[in-house]
Amino acid sequence: MSLFVVLSTLTAQATEPIVQPDGSVMMSVVLSATEGEVRAELDTAAEASALHGDATIVSQERQGSCEQSTFKTRGLLSSIYYVAQRCPTASGWKQTLISSDTFEQNEAEWSLRPVEGGTELRYRIRVSLDLPVGQGMVNAQISESMTRAMAHLESRLGRK
């Protein structure tokens, strides 16, 4: 599915993914759902990861209010494995890289805020690889994945 098709399916008010000065990619969308409804769709690493379809959780364990997960995702020549911890924050969740042979950085943050007409979701991802791949290519893939994830989230919420 092309990025244009995915973008055109977003009926909520969404911004296009934008590379931030710190190198992260950020996107926001206003969803016509309550904060509680959005939280329910993003409450676990498995639910959030399933929106992208890029990574599969191989193993997972709860550590207090956090989840530590081992992910498998496709690489250029072989699968890439990494371990990340996802913890709740005051406004959502933050996932940080624990270990990887390929990722130098891999963090994601979901922030929710009630607004008129629904809930604003700000989504930020920062990834850098220990591979000879340009950061522009990495950010383009992240942007496409984020847009697809937001469309899937909106679709999930619309089925409720």
Tens of pLDDT, residue by residue over 146-160, are 999 999 999 989 876
pLDDT mean over 13-32: 90
Distance CA 66, CA 78 (A): 29
Query: pTM of the predicted model, to two decimals?
Result: 0.85
Are 119 and 33 in contact by the 8 Å Cβ rule? The answer is yes
Question: pLDDT at residue 81 above 50?
Answer: yes
Distance CA 154, CA 60 (A): 26
Among 13-22, 34-43, 108-117, which stretch is predicted with the lowest mean pLDDT?
13-22
Q: What interhelical angle do 135-158 and 35-42 show, nearest 10?
A: 120
pLDDT mean over 16-24: 92
The fraction of the chain above a pLDDT of 70, given in percent, is 90
Say how many C-beta atoms besides its own lie within 10 A of residue 126's C-beta: 21
Write out pLDDT tens, residues 125-138: 999 988 888 899 99
